[in-house]
Amino acid sequence: MTDGQADGRPRLTVIGCGYLGATHAACMAELGFEVLGVDVDVERVKSLSAGRLPFFEPGLAELLSAQVESGRLRFTTSYAEAADFGDVHFVCVSTPQRAGDFAADVSRLDAVVTDLAPLLDRPCVVVGKSTVPVGTAERMRQRLRQLAPAGDAVALAWNPEFLREGHAIDDTVAPDRLVLGLAGGDDPTTEQTLRAVYTGPIAAGSPVVVCDLATAELVKVAANAFLATKVSFINAMAELCEAAGADVTRLAEAIGHDERIGRRFLNAGLGFGGGCLPKDIRAFMARAGELGAGDALTFLREVDAINQRRRARVVDLAGELLDRPWPGARIAVLGAAFKPHSDDIRDSPALNVAGRMHLLGAHVTVHDPKAMPNARRTWPTLAYADTIDDACAGAHLVLLATEWPQFRELDPAALATLVDTPALVDARNCLDPTRWRAAGWTYRALGRP
Ligand code: UDX
């Protein structure tokens, strides 16, 4: 390692300033590092340089503008500037599902290596944070060394992120674990450099797991596969509860008291969506198949299928509850984001269900506290209302699709005066059925009588 900050700490670049990268860059600056964010998107760089966050994440807009103001955080489109500045380069580009199959598209990662490596002419560490098919890191390491003038003085490490949207800052500055994947045979100072970057979180108690590159890559997808399985497990129980007339929310509470099981991530409902869980389990299956270990993950097909079935079931349930045919029925959908405290609508179960009902001929009006601009752009055929009241006025059915606090706290008696028919599908099991029924509503939910 050469250069560094005046205080001896390494200078950091963050390549790819989407959700993960923008959060990581702002948080590292907050931890006292000089950080240069790099992105190929000129508009994004302009916006971030002006301290404007191009998406919603609680607390992050304030953090970003404060760090830009402090001078510790800058953004650029120039790889030459990044190579010159950085001692540690965090790579945070996205790896979306490839068009036409389940595998992950790693072309953005490859492009970073192609553009950055020829400019690396002094010792540095490249740290992958993107979610990748196992084996990608080793391939990247070889290419970096081939292409970089500094050759073997360029080390590659893998440090997967586990941040949840809505909790991105906490998950970055106080992660519940730090995984440091290191290549055997690399400079032993690489681990020290990474520990220096994370001195604050480590001192505050975040445990560190050191492992090889392949294990670090797998940790991320294994964690997401487990979480997806947990959600689909409770949703499968919801299917059984529906068949048997039992209550999945009580069931989750009861099994959750067993410490080996735990109550978290056992909320039955419309299932998982977002930019990570759905595509990560598919990419994991695809990679396992390539490795000849496809049998080990066939259960994830079922996890995916259970998750998809919930979306279809919600539409059926709404159809059962409607007192009229779909064409012309007025439906209010509360929620567009894939989960609360986010404006992310990627693979959003809420919009998937809204879209299906629209295709059945219903007039669907959506309201969401944060995700309306994104939803409008992507689903222009749906109607949108700026307030809950406007969305529900004259509705023949209300569907709660994302469990925002604003929706949980709704007053059933007041809402009943606005709608045409007080019929409600609580697709997130987040309302009190007794209270809603007492206010005159026909209440239906998934996995509950
Ligand atoms: C996830 C992982 O949690 C995170 O560690 C990883 O880095 C990225 O993917 P995120 O996509 O932000 O994070 O959302 P998360 O809070 O994990 O929820 C995922 C989905 O599962 C959401 O659609 C949520 O509504 C759903 N979910 C979650 C349930 O349906 N039931 C639950 O009990 C929990």
pLDDT at 126 over 70: yes
211-229 pLDDT per residue, tens: 999 999 999 999 999 999 9
Handedness of CA 109, 371, 28, 80 (dihedral sign): positive
The two structure tokens encoding residue 128: 């992958």
pLDDT at 63: 98
Q: Looking at ligand 1, which atom is closest to the CA of residue 269?
A: 30
Which pLDDT value is given to residue 1? 52
Residues having CB closer than 6 A to ligand 1 are 161-165, 224, 227, 231, 265-267, 269, 271-274, 276-277, 338-339
**pLDDT for 380-430, tens place per residue?**
999 999 999 999 999 999 999 999 999 999 999 999 999 999 999 999 999
Q: Does 186 have pLDDT greater than 80?
A: no
Look at residue 8 in the predicted model and tell me its pLDDT: 86
Residue 348 alpha carbon, nearest atom of ligand 1: 23
Q: 185 falls in which pLDDT band (50, 70, 90)?
A: confident
Distances (CA, A) of 446 to 66, 77, 236, 270, 430: 44, 47, 11, 8, 11
At 348, the amino acid letter reads: S
Contacts of 200 (CB under 8 A, 6+ apart): 31, 32, 173
How far is it between the farthest Cα atoms of the chain? 73
Q: How many Cα atoms within 13 Å fall on the side-chain side of residue 316? A: 8
Q: Which domains are seen in the chain, by residue range?
A: 12-206 (3.40.50.720), 212-449 (3.40.50.720)
Average pLDDT over residues 257-264: 98
pLDDT at 312: 98
Q: How many CA atoms lie within 13 A of 234 on its CB side?
A: 31
- Could you tell me how many residues make up the chain? 449
Burial (Cβ within 10 Å: 0-12, 13-18, ≥19) of residue 176: exposed
- Quick one: 327 exposed, middle or buried, by C-beta within 10 A (0-12, 13-18, 19+)? exposed
Distance spanning both ends of the chain, measured CA to CA: 63
Is the pLDDT score of 436 beyond 60?
A: yes
Whole-angstrom distance, CA of residue 221 vs CA of residue 160: 10
Q: Mean pLDDT check: name the lowest of 32-41, 95-104, 366-375, 414-423.
A: 95-104
For ligand 1, atom 23, the nearest C-alpha belongs to: 272
- Are 400 and 418 in contact by the 8 Å Cβ rule? The answer is no
Q: What is the pLDDT of residues 145-177, one digit of tens each?
A: 999 999 999 999 999 999 999 999 999 999 999
Query: What is the model's pLDDT at position 197?
Result: 97
Catalytic site residues? 276
Between 206 and 184, residue with greater pLDDT = 206
Mutate to test the pocket of ligand 1, among 55, 266, 276 (most ligand atoms within 8 A of CB): 276
Structure tokens at 369: 């506290």
Is residue 295 predicted with pLDDT exceeding 70? yes
| Residue 3 binned pLDDT confidence (cut-offs 50, 70, 90) | low
For residues 187-204, average pLDDT: 94
398 CA distance to ligand 1 middle (Å): 24
State the Cα–Cα distance between residues 39 and 15, nearest whole angstrom. 6
Residue 187 has pLDDT above 90, yes or no: no
- % of the chain residues with pLDDT over 70: 99
Average pLDDT across the chain, whole number = 97
Alpha helices (H) in 96-188, listed in sequence order: 107-116, 136-147, 168-173
| 20 has pLDDT over 60 | yes
Q: What is the dihedral of CA 55, 57, 62, 64, to 10 degrees?
A: -60
Query: In a mutational test of the pocket of ligand 1, which residue from 226, 232, 272, 352 has the highest number of ligand atoms less than 8 Å from its CB?
Result: 272
Q: Which residue's C-alpha comes closest to atom 18 of ligand 1? A: 272
The ligand 1 atom at the shortest distance from the C-alpha of residue 342 is: 12
Residue 73 pLDDT level (bands cut at 50, 70, 90): very high
Please state, for a pLDDT cut of 90, what percent of the chain lies above it: 96
308 pLDDT higher than 90: yes
pTM equals 0.95
- The 10s digit of each residue's pLDDT in 30-53 is 999 999 999 999 999 999 999 999
Q: Give the model's confidence band at 144: pLDDT under 50 very low, under 70 low, under 90 confident, else very high.
A: very high
